[in-house]
Structure 1
């Protein structure tokens, strides 16, 4: 059995929950982090010394496999996809897998950072304390990254090519956050088509219906 530590409102926990559901894994989730607290305890920091979510424990109640602890959301998605979805979420063909890995890394280094100030200002900051300059700068940065996504998805149905992979989970969660922000955004027809398809996936429906908080 798989145990997922982290509140579902966290975009990084959402990646892991969606992945587990795509793979039909028997799992439980424990609310920690944010208002739930619990990440500064000795027990939690023994699993993740950073005191951050998500964290997984895999192999619980499995006599054939020792308990395995892992943190960092994209590393978790890669691990679960490789162990339980080889050839499915986790591409076996080298170039396809490298493409999926590239987009997962890009989500971390470019896409999510481009919108982070807009998110923090519009969602986490009281209205009378918001910095309009930071919001606009972040909006413009996210326009550039979403244009990249739209261009790629004009050429192929999914992030890594012709089929749904782990890269779509990771980038899809980030895109859900972008579309959930109360902000002006240009039309991105190919990105919007892709998001609509992701929302129709049974494993994604709870995660991609959540409000951005």
Structure 2
């Protein structure tokens, strides 16, 4: 049984809960971080004061994308390509997600935490930056259906979480049909619906 530490309103925790459900791995999740605070026991595992962290046997592991790679490699290799080049391309998009998160941050905070919308200049500027970056993703998805290769895999998970935020906040977005089709495919996955498509807080 895998233990996951982290509050579900964290984008990075959503990545891991969604992956665990996709991989059909039994787990228990404990709320920690944000309004839940941190215990000394948790900080002994993860001194960064961030979530998530998992425990799997004797292993305690933090950093959400490292956790995704570990879960696939250790428990569900079908979620990671055997082809080194395909896997590296997927890893590229997993790590690129952090740049998108930075671009989208002011739009997310303004809309979700401060009750603003796209008419706010700071929100609008952030949304424009995020839209320009999403256009790069749209171009990639014009060439293939999944960021992980020829099938859904862990490389789709980080951007999938942030795509839900992108499509949910009240801002103007460019017309990106391949991105929208990928997002529609993600929405049919039960783990995505139950762990990611929840109210933004």
Bigger Rg, which one: 1
Secondary structure of the 1:29 match is: strand
Please state whether the residue corresponding to 1:166 is helix, strand or coil.
Answer: coil
Matching of residue 92 in structure 1 with residue 82 in structure 2:
yes
* Partner residue, 1:44: 42
Partner residue, 1:132 = 120
Contact 2:103 2:130 in 1 (8 A): yes
Taking the aligned partners of 1:105 and 1:85, their CA distance within structure 2 comes to 20
Residue 133 of structure 1 deviates from its aligned partner by 2.7
Note if 1:206 corresponds to 2:186. Answer: no
Which of 173, 176, 185 lines up with 2:164 in the alignment?
176
How many residue pairs get aligned? The number is: 200
Contact kept? 1:4, 1:30, Cα under 8 Å: yes
Q: Distance in 2 between matches of 1:155 and 1:96?
A: 13
Match of 1:186, SS state, is coil
Uncovered stretches (5+) of structure 2, i.e. residues with no partner = none
The gaps in structure 1 that reach 5 residues or longer are: 60-66
What CA distance in whole angstroms lies between the structure 2 residues aligned with 1:146 and 1:179? 11
1:113 matched residue in structure 2: 102
Residues 11-160 of structure 1: matches in 2 within 5 Å? 11-37=11-37, 39=38, 41-59=39-57, 67-86=58-77, 88-108=78-98, 110-125=99-114, 127=116, 132-160=120-148
Moved over 4 A (4+): none
User: Given that residues 199 and 208 in structure 1 are in contact (C-alpha distance below 8 angstroms), is that contact kept between their aligned partners in structure 2?
Assistant: no
1:71, 1:106 → 2: CA distance?
18
